[in-house]
Structure formats: C-alpha cells, structure tokens
Amino acid sequence: MSAAAFSTPSQTRAYRDLPEDAFRQELRAFLAAHYPDHWRKPIERLTGEDALWWKRTLYEHGWRMPGWPAQYGGMGLSLHQQLVYHEEMDRYSVSRVLDIGETMLGPVLFGHGTEEQKAFYLPRILRAEDTWCQGYSEPNAGSDLASLRTAAVRDGDHYVVNGSKIWTTHGMYATHIFSLVRTSKDGPKQAGISFLLSSIDTAGITVRPIANLAGEEEFCEVFFEDVRIPVSNLVGAENKGWQVAKSLLGFERVMIGSPALAKQALSGVTELFRVLGLDADPACRERLIALTADLHDLGVMYDEVVGAHLAGDTQVERFSMLKILATELFQKITEFGIDAGGEYGGVMGEMAIGDAQLNNYKLSILARASTIYGGSSEVQRNILVKSVLGLPA
C-alpha cells in the first residue's frame, strides 16, 4: 500500500497538533471563508454536486475525515478533537452529507478489507471520487436482517447476484453500494451471508427512488438482476459476512446514537419558545428543562461510550443503548415542538414565526423513522437483554 495513495494536504498534521482554542479558531475561520451561508440548514442533507463540492473543499484544505487514522489519509484526531470538530460544525449549522462511505465502509475496510481493497477504495472515498450507499434491508428483512434473500451464486471469478434492497438512503446519488447477500443456505440464517462491494453502474443494477413522509426522495429500492460482481470485491471470508455486518452496524449505531439530531431539534424548540414567549408557561418551561437535562446526559454517555471504544472496549452492545436513547429523545423533543407550537405545530414547510424561520413539523417527520432504521428499538433492547443482562429475549 503506497504512501502516495493516502496523501493528504500538508496542513492536516498542523491542525492535529494545534491546542484546542487554536484548533477551534482555525476551523471557524475555514467555515466562515468557505461554507456558503445559504447551506446553513443542519436538518437537511447536501446532495449531488453540492455535497461533492463540500467534501472536496474539506479535503483540499485538510479538514476531511477527522476520525480516520493518519495512515489512511485521515486527520487522525483524538476523540476530544473529533468532538470539538463536530461541535464547531454544529455551531455553524453545517448541513449533513451522505457519508456512509466515510463513517461506515471506511472503518470496515480498515479491519476486514484486503490490502488491495484498502489501497483502491479508501483514497477514492477520501477524495470524494466515490459515494457509497448501503444495501442491507429488504422488503422482508428489515430489522430481522439475517432473513435476507438476495442471493449470490459463485460462477468462476464472479458472483451472480439476484434480489432487491429497500430503504437505501440516497441511492440515486451513489456511485457504489456495499451489500449483504446470501451465499449459502446451510446452517443458521446468520451463516451463509457475505459482504460484497459493487459499482452502481454495473449491468443489472436498477435504482428507483421512494418519497418519504416529508415528500422528499431520500430512500431507494435497488434491484439486482444477474449482476456479476468480481470475487475480489468480497470483504472478509465467504459466508462470514455477518461478522463484518455486525461491526458495520456498530459504527452505524454510534453515528445514529450521536446527540446531534436531538441537539438540533432542541435548538429549534428553544427558538420556538423565544418567538412565542413560552417561557411564561411553567409547564412548558419544566418540560423544556427536563429535555435539556436528558440531552446533557446523552452527550455525556456518548462521549464515554465512544471514548471507551477508541480505547479498545469491544462491547459493541453499548452502541445499542446509545441508539435507543438518542432516537427516542429525538422523538420526544420533536413531539414537544409540535405540542408547544400550537397552531404552528403541524404546518409542513419553512415558515416565519416572529423574526425566526422554522420548519417545526419536518423534524418530527424525520424523527418518526429514527427508532426503526439501523435496527429498531425493539431489536436493540433484545440485544441488551441477551448480551448484557444474560436473559432470554
């Protein structure tokens, strides 16, 4: 694996070595100089060319991949520096991007990929040449992921894949997809599953967008019809994809378990309080204080769990606890926003309330799905019951 393959702008190391105050000031100055004001909508995602421009701008200025090790071209920041990085992004209201390749596939390749796969795919993710989506859920295999039926049959140096995936986030913008496929029907259903990488433009792959409750085409169906995928695109061993999938789901649940969305929701509710003068209502004020305290506790737990993981803690079950707490708090806060908003509570779309522009209802719609995607809350509780408490599910 050549060092040139993972070359990064020279200032990356300098950022990593800065004291915290200087690090914050450098990042704030970068955002003020390069991030467009009209994109400061944290509950929305940048997509298409906008997202690529922003990723490449981060890369060119050394601010790409804060959590990736330096050996793979990332910033190699400590946990504390990563938290500071994301705090500043949130403070500046930077919109989210589709970062499945960065936050999910990249770490999987660190641990399970071949040297050839790392050398080829990681630099392309780093430079935003490839955008990845996740082919996991199927029409009859959502939270019960091990029931998937998309089949891959070995044919010489290729797998021939047939089946379908659903709820594939922003698949219409992706250039590549990583998928779980069934390569054997022998043994328990978790056995016989493999993890494959493929280009979206491979012959036989069809992507169809699905509109969500907010009226946006965020999800997709992906169909595989006699798709030939090279065996060299297998990550991990054949029929051992479940182990790879579990590690990836751990990374996904860390991402979903972040307090970021709940924090954005609470910020919107706090602004609603200000413009509607709800501070004068003791019941509303008490409920807001309780939710603020819950968000603080979630933040502390998130830092502890992520810190322990980076220090070598292998108890990925703790990610399930984060996922439950973060998504259910996100829902509670948005439900409170609808209640407190009164006549404005259920209005779809951005609207002027006093001197503020708010989109109160959209957050609640986005929160509806959060306790389902990434493994439903029921599944997460079963994981905790079995692995932590040692009880039958």
Take residue 385 and report the two structure tokens written for it. 């019951």
Residue located via tokens 């998130």: 302
Encoding tokens for residue 72? 């793979």
DSSP state of 105: I
**Which two three-digit tokens encode residue 9?**
């702008």
In Å, the largest CA–CA distance within the chain is 72
CB 222 within 8 A of CB 207: yes
Q: What is the 3-state secondary structure (H, E, C) of 260-276?
A: HHHHHHHHHHHHHHHHH
Residue numbers annotated as active site: 252
- Report the run of H or E that residue 67 belongs to, with start and end: none
- Per-residue tokens: 229: 């995928």
CA contacts within 13 A on the Cβ side of 293: 6
In the block, which residue shows the tokens 């105050």? Answer: 21
| CB within 8 Å of 113: residues ≥ 6 apart | 121, 235
What is the spatial distance between Cα 196 and Cα 117, in angstroms, rounded to a whole number?
Answer: 12
Task: Give exposure, 78-100, as e/b (b: 16+ Cβ within 10 Å).
Answer: eeebbbbbbebbbebbbbbbbbb
Which among 267, 221, 224 is positioned nearest to 93, based on CA atoms?
A: 267
Calpha distance 65→125 (Å, rounded): 10
* Pairwise CA distance, residues 367 & 371, whole Å: 8
**Cα 259 to Cα 267: distance, rounded to the nearest angstrom:** 12
Among residues 283, 268, 392, 384, which one has the least CA distance to residue 333? Answer: 268
Instruction: Characterize the bridge pairing of strands 217-230 and 205-211.
Output: antiparallel
